[in-house]
Structure 1
């Protein structure tokens, strides 16, 4: 591959690496890394078993034994928060991975084939767009039962059009560039050009969109657990913790509900800020 072509292929990645983030973005990145580390090392960070509760210690305030107090069932709030980070982060991660991979494949295929294939795929994506992700997840739970599997699959389908449309638009723009025509003239297959040459150019922008999608997916799954349709007890989950602590709020002990709610808000806002800042830098805007 010639030097000019190599420069074209690596241009967006180099641009992304060369521009540092703002202080707010760096703070958000630090918070996200912290939450990920907490989720990875949750079994070693939890001082107590979050599924074990003593009725006699229900609704107690922060103490040496219970750093963030307990809920009405006597479960340690800090331990539940730490262990709940696993389910609360893994679910959105699966949604983003599945929806991104499927969206990239559909978007590239639609842009490359064009014509009636592109039109049909576009209309099908419009149909999926008509249904909010949370509604699709609730329908999946109604059909397949409560838990994590059905909502994750349903929300992956609901989030897929966002990536597919973005990839299609970017791929259509890239196809007009000289380096794509050069690879075609050299006899490279469409699959090789699309995956090995075109995809690296649009990858950073897709990554920015996926980062934003992660925050929204986390919020939707937390809302589903809050409604009692997602992760089921005794498995800790931030949304389920908020739901189970409603009685504690009414009794003047809101900490067991406030702490997971704050965790959800912080992670969602952090992912949105990071994703939007990355997108702004790629678009040449100042953050």
Structure 2
């Protein structure tokens, strides 16, 4: 079924066209749309939030949904809807930093070890195996114990924990590509190893790496939300989905569960969407290579 010309020239038509180019089934397209929506909310959160989420009104705690507070309020009288919107930014920035550091570090480690080979590859491979034994959340809690609560220490610790996933993937892909004839041809032409690795080999494996990073983003978001739920991550009054779930437990006892349910649903939606999109990208790459 084709899209009418009048609709194609509208923003809705542009969105429908973009979703068609993404391919995949309805689930992949819906997941992409969900992620795009949350990204837009994070970008424009200060303008979308109807109230200041850090301002609590005395006597307005644990109120139900109404004209002034669409999703009610929490125990401190903060507007749940505004906190949910502002919390989108903090809840996505942390995982983004984790994935960015882990991906860049994993690419560097994987490229270097696979290209050098020999004892370097063996030693680094054993180190990566050791890092696999430490869960990301455990390293984040250890970082909080050493450097204090907040977002910086857990993000850096979790980046170290997620680095082996990207490094092992890049290491395997580099080892395969390194044996292909085009790599030998570039070396014979006198190109340096750095040039061949970064300008010729890396672009070919980046789509697969990005697919893995997309899946890692969902898991990183879940780990950071769990950390904030434990009170070790983002600290009040900064809105964060994990902290909102923790604070909303008291609201559940008061008969107003929206303060806990809404951020929990947001976490589940984003994590599932990132996993679906990551799997879809991986399937497209596998189909392209076969």
| TM-score of the superposed pair, with normalisation by structure 2 | 0.91
CA distance in 1, matches of 2:108, 2:76: 47
Q: CA deviation at 1:55?
A: 2.7
Match of 1:273 among 270, 273, 276: 276
Aligned to 1:44: 47
- Alignment of structure 1 residues 119-198 onto 2, 5 Å: 119-198=122-201
Q: Is the 8 A contact 2:46 2:86 kept in 1?
A: yes
Q: CA deviation at 1:263?
A: 0.3
CA distance in 1, matches of 2:178, 2:33: 37
Structure 1, residues 15-37: CA drift from partner, whole Å, max 9, x if none? Answer: xx987222211111111010000
Question: Would you say 1:60 and 2:60 are equivalent positions?
Answer: no
Deviation >4 Å, runs of 4+: none
Structure 1, residues 146-169: CA drift from partner, whole Å, max 9, x if none? Answer: 000000000000000000000000
Q: What are the ranges of 5 or more consecutive residues in structure 2 without an aligned counterpart?
A: 1-19
Structure 1, residues 61-112: CA drift from partner, whole Å, max 9, x if none? Answer: 1111111111111100000000001110000000000000000000000100
Provide the secondary structure at the position in 2 that maps to 1:283. Answer: helix
CA distance in 2, matches of 1:250, 1:277: 40
CA distance in 2, matches of 1:258, 1:145: 28
Match of 1:72 among 75, 82, 90: 75
Q: What are the ranges of 5 or more consecutive residues in structure 1 without an aligned counterpart?
A: 1-16
**Greater RCO, CA 8 A, separation 6+:** 1
Question: Would you say 1:264 and 2:267 are equivalent positions?
Answer: yes
Provide the secondary structure at the position in 2 that maps to 1:235. Answer: coil
- Alignment of structure 1 residues 90-101 onto 2, 5 Å: 90-101=93-104
Q: Is the 8 A contact 2:74 2:259 kept in 1?
A: yes
Match of 1:209 among 203, 209, 212: 212
CA 76–18 in structure 1, closer or farther in 2 if over 3 Å, else same: closer
Aligned to 1:21: 24
CA 240–105 in structure 1, closer or farther in 2 if over 3 Å, else same: same
Aligned to 1:5: none
Structure 1, residues 137-196: CA drift from partner, whole Å, max 9, x if none? Answer: 000000000000000000000000000000000011111111111101101011110010
| TM-score of the superposed pair, with normalisation by structure 1 | 0.92
Instruction: Tell me how many residue pairs correspond in the alignment.
Output: 269
Provide the secondary structure at the position in 2 that maps to 1:21. Answer: coil
CA distance in 1, matches of 2:81, 2:215: 27
CA distance in 2, matches of 1:160, 1:112: 18
CA distance in 2, matches of 1:232, 1:50: 14
Structure 1, residues 42-64: CA drift from partner, whole Å, max 9, x if none? Answer: 00000000011113111111111
CA root-mean-square deviation: 1.2
Structure 1, residues 4-24: CA drift from partner, whole Å, max 9, x if none? Answer: xxxxxxxxxxxxx98722221
Match of 1:87 among 87, 90, 93: 90
CA distance in 2, matches of 1:98, 1:267: 20
Q: Is the 8 A contact 1:19 1:281 kept in 2?
A: no
Question: Would you say 1:116 and 2:119 are equivalent positions?
Answer: yes
